[in-house]
Chain A
Amino acid sequence: MGYLVQILDGLGLTVGVFLVSLIISLPLGILVSCLRLSKIKTVSKVTEIYIWVLRGTPLLLQIMFVFFGLASIGIKFGRFNSIVFAFALNYSAYFGEIFRSGIQSIEKGQSEAASILGFSSIQINLKIILPQVIKRTLPSIGNEVITLVKDTSLVYAVGQSDILKYAKGIAVRDATLVPYLIAGGVYLVLTYIITKVFESVERKVNYEE
């Protein structure tokens, strides 16, 4: 019990990084998918490169680049902000690709039918396309969100103390593996809650196609 209380001191940071990163990266992901699908070739190409770089390099490297690399040229965000900035950019690339595949899976005829009914492009995207994209992409988004929880453990790279860092400190101090098991249990509880939330949302937006 004592170990658990000590480890939970890191829960605030883990949940904070998770929530702020998620809140920024989801809408950013929608924007990335729209830019990726842009009819302007340059915009689409630049976005493709953005996605390639962010998915093609380790998240740990990106966190270090934002915190240490940018600081070396005078751009300083602070530890928490650097972490969230790197996480949001990285996950926006993944979410962007998920949303892109979702948008492309919607039959073009629905947009055409809506445009003949007089809907504007914004109305078509918000009322017709987006609800269907959310439904179709929820399982993939859920996977990424669970990965995001686990990735928060990378904050140790810039000296922040999350659940795992506390567990490691206790394990080294007391020469025991129990704190690691407890930390694993905390992650499992977090991912269980997320899984249940996503299951509930999936049930709410579910309809047969």
Chain B
Amino acid sequence: MLLQAEGLFKAFNDTIVLNDISINVECGEVVSLVGQSGAGKTTVLRCITGLEKCDRGSIAINNKYICKTENGITTYATKNELAIIRHELGMVFQSYHLFPHMTVLENVTLALTDVYKVMPTEANEEAVKMLESLGLGEKIDSKPSQLSGGQKQRVAIARSCVTKPKLLCFDEPTAALDSALVVEMVKIIRSLAREKGIGILIISHDEKFVRDVSDRVLFIEHGKITREMTSEEYKSVIRD
């Protein structure tokens, strides 16, 4: 199992945000987590990526634990352990969070050269290949401010994928896209899962997008997973 999250519990002050949440994702599988705003979707993603600490529960990516509860005591990965686990993890944020002072190419190569210590020429080659595969070959010298919403998102995907993560998380990937770009995004995500074997976890409230992209759909309400559907079951519920 690529992602194994079990019994996640998280409260902010007296408000329970996650209540016994369990999610599994296999390599090459696309799993979507859907629910209303405030249901706890983003918090789940933030806990899985180590941006937030859950109060109880276990999260393991490729059998490496971000947190673990045993005998009522929750332990968390150290900074160094978390840094290693994050080599297997990528995240595409809703508002992309590209680095505005860098070009598209620099945005994509920076982690390769500075974190993974890849030689700059090799990093450039890798990044250009990745950007070209996402249709951004002509934009490598542009700054993020010169890109459309769809292009920014593809740069964010390239930036996350160039480090070859095993699990890629998407936070509301269609929130800023028009319908044509949503179709394109479905294709990109499906190919990342099928061709590269990346496990993908998406949070979204775009029903049609979720229907077209997912292998499995989980429903979250008030911090609890209330239902789970296969792609076929979900397709029978959500029609055009």
Check B111–A118 contact: CB distance below 8 A.
yes
Contact A207 B101 (CB under 8 A): yes
A109 touches B145 (CB 8 A): no
Docked-complex contact A117 and B143, CB < 8 angstroms: no
Does A101 belong to the interface (CB within 8 Å)? Answer: no
Does chain A have a CB within 8 A of B86? yes
Q: Check B159 for interface membership: any CB of A closer than 8 A.
A: yes
Contact B100 A209 (CB under 8 A): yes
Answer whether residue A104 sits at the interface, using C-beta atoms and an 8 A cutoff: no
CB within 8 Å for A118 and B87 given contacts A207-B145, A208-B143: yes
B160: chain A residues at CB < 8 Å are: 117
A-B pairs, top 8 by smallest CB distance, nearest first, are: A208-B145, A113-B97, A118-B115, A109-B97, A117-B111, A116-B91, A131-B101, A209-B100
Instruction: Flag the segment in A16-24, A90-98, A119-127, A177-185 that touches B.
Output: A119-127
State which of B49, B90, B114, B143 has its C-beta within 8 Å of the C-beta of A123: B114
CA distance A72 to B160 in the complex (A): 62
Contact at A119–B101, with CB atoms within 8 Å? no
Q: Which of B50, B51, B101, B110 counts the most chain A CB atoms within 10 A? A: B101
The size bracket of the interface on B is: 20 to 34
Residue of B90, B100, B111, B143 with highest tally of chain A CB at under 10 A:
B100
Residues from chain B with a CB closer than 8 A to the CB of A115 are 51, 86
CB <8 Å contact, A116 and B49: yes
- B residues 25-50 near A (Cβ < 8 Å) are 49-50
- Alpha-carbon distance between A205 and B143 when the two chains are bound, in angstroms: 13
- What is the predominant secondary structure among interface residues of chain A facing chain B? helix
A116 to B97, CA, bound (A): 12
Q: Would you give 26 A-B contacts (Cβ < 8 Å), ordered by A?
A: A107-B95, A107-B97, A109-B95, A110-B99, A112-B93, A113-B91, A113-B93, A113-B97, A114-B99, A116-B50, A116-B86, A116-B89, A117-B86, A117-B110, A117-B160, A117-B163, A118-B83, A118-B115, A118-B116, A119-B114, A127-B114, A132-B100, A207-B143, A207-B145, A208-B143, A208-B146
Q: Which residues of A contact B83 (CB under 8 A)?
A: 118, 120
In the complex, whether A170 has a CB less than 8 A from a CB of chain B is no
Contacts of B115 in A (CB 8 A): 117-119, 123
Q: Contact between A118 and B86 (Cβ–Cβ < 8 Å)?
A: yes
